[in-house]
Amino acid sequence: MDGLLNELEELNIGKVKRNELLSQHTTMKIGGPADLFIEPSSVENIRKVIGFINKHQLPWRAIGRGSNLLVSDKGIEGAVIKLGAGLSNLTIEGTKITVGAGHSLISLSTMISKKGLSGLEFASGIPGSVGGAVYMNAGAHGSDISKILTKAHILFADGTIEWLSNVEMEFSYRTSVLQKKRPGIVLEAEFDLTEGDKASIVAQMLKNKDYRKETQPWNFPCAGSIFRNPLPNYAGKLIEEAGLKGFSIGGAKISEMHGNFIVNAGNATAKDVLDLIQYIKEKIDQLYSINIETEVEIIGRD
């Protein structure tokens, strides 16, 4: 890997590190090392990174701000590409905005609301990046990314770049075409918003943010919702009714504020979290004959 690291550094594509702990790049503060950790400084440099990866036939994975992720204690084989400050561009043209994948979703929603543009109020408490939100069709408060996205700029594994329309993204509940059928990296997103009363938009955004603070345990390291809601049921409600709030395995604990959150209560490992997830799944199946599936993405070495 040292030879690959040297070759990467010569490309001058941004930050490059060897054996970087992913616990430093996930909101759950869990995760072993990445063989190669790359934070490109521009879209063009991401293309160079993909060219390098394909040349050496390396496995790779892209991450944003590290929410909705559980990384193995053994880390990730190959290269991890972090979409960060190098992809935080933002342009506003009337009600249309184009924003880089590395931009914080919370800061974007705050900024846009203050300009009197409506459509992103639901995102005011979602602690991820724009790219991650598009990738998984993030949502809350009755709305989601699919309601506002017009197209997304995608870099595919073969190095090609293409704009996909909302229809081509094949959005559904917390999923998009990028998760299975056409793996790729979100580089930019274009959103179509609507003009509204600035005071009302800001008030709604703050209400949504306050609701999250009051009902979700953001004072502990966590990944967000662990399970998809098995509609018409809600995972958090099922877990609470099962009497599981506060139950822990190792350093991983089911939040006492919200049943669908597992928090890192102190030096939790990925194994702790996985064991707790399995325990919850078995308990819910046993009590209600309902199979709940994870929303958090589990990645890394077995």
As annotated, the active-site residues are: 174, 225, 295
Using DSSP bridges, classify how beta strands 14-21 and 262-264 pair: parallel, antiparallel or unpaired: unpaired
Token readout for 21 is: 């702990």
- Measured CA to CA, the distance from residue 157 to residue 181 in angstroms comes to 12
CA distance linking residue 117 with residue 196, whole number of Å:
6
How far is Cα 244 from Cα 226, in angstroms, rounded to an integer? 14
Phi, psi (5° rounding) for residue 41?
-95, 0
**Selection from 208, 202, 220 nearest residue 143 by Cα:** 208
Q: What are the phi and psi torsion angles at 266 (to 5°)?
A: 150, 105
* DSSP structural state of residue 144: E
